[in-house]
Amino acid sequence: MLKNTRILVTGGAGYIGSHTLRLLGEKGADILVVDNLSSGYREFITYGELKKVDIGNLSAMKETLSSFRPRIVIHFAAFIQAEESVRNPMKYYLNNLSKTIMLLQAMQEAGVELFIFSSSAAVYGLTDTVPIPEGAPFRPANPYGRSKAAVETVLQDLSNAGAIRFVSLRYFNASGASIDARLGERHRPETHLIPLLLKTAKGELPSFTIYGDDYPTPDGTCIRDYIHVLDLAEAHVLAAEYLLSGADSAVFNCGYGRGYSVREVVDVVKKVTGVDFPVNIGPRRPGDPPVLIADPARIKQTLGWKPRYDDLEFIVKTAWEWERKESSQ
Ligand SMILES: NC(=O)c1ccc[n+]([C@@H]2O[C@H](COP(=O)([O-])OP(=O)(O)OC[C@H]3O[C@@H](n4cnc5c(N)ncnc54)[C@H](O)[C@@H]3O)[C@@H](O)[C@H]2O)c1
d(CA 178, CA 44): 11
Task: Please tell me the residue having the least CA distance from ligand 1 atom 4.
Answer: 174
Q: Based on the residue annotation, tell me whether 144 is a catalytic residue of this protein.
A: yes
Residue type, 17: G
Q: Buried b vs exposed e over 49-59: b needs ≥16 C-beta within 10 Å?
A: ebbebbbbbee
Share of the chain above pLDDT 90, in %: 94
- The one catalytic residue in 144, 171, 242, 260 is 144
Residues 184-205 have a mean pLDDT of 94
**Ligand 1 pocket member 20 (CB < 6 A):** no
Best residue among 9, 16, 231 to mutate for probing ligand 1's pocket (most ligand atoms within 8 Å of CB) is 16
Give the chain's radius of gyration (CA, Å): 19
Residues 113-136 have a mean pLDDT of 96
What pLDDT sits at residue 327?
79
Q: Which domains does the chain have, with CATH numbers?
A: 6-175+226-254 (3.40.50.720), 193-224+257-327 (3.90.25.10)
DSSP letters of 192-231? -HHHHHHHHHTTSSS-EEEE-S-SSSTTSS-EE-EEEHHH
Query: How many A from CA of 36 to the centre of ligand 1?
Result: 11
For residue 20, pLDDT beyond 80? yes
d(CA 100, CA 155): 10
- Tell me what the pLDDT averaged over the chain comes to: 96
Of 99, 120, 118, 102, which is closest to residue 110 (Cα–Cα)?
Answer: 102
**Ligand 1 pocket member 17 (CB < 6 A):** yes
Q: What is the pLDDT of residues 54-85, one digit of tens each?
A: 999 999 999 999 999 999 999 999 999 998 99
- Given a contact cutoff of 8 angstroms between Cβ atoms, the answer to whether 186 and 132 are in contact is no
What pLDDT sits at residue 65?
98
pTM of the entire predicted model: 0.98
What pLDDT sits at residue 127?
87
- Given a contact cutoff of 8 angstroms between Cβ atoms, the answer to whether 284 and 126 are in contact is no
For residue 329, pLDDT beyond 70? no
d(CA 107, CA 309): 34
Is the bond leading into 131 cis (omega within 30 degrees of zero)? Answer: yes
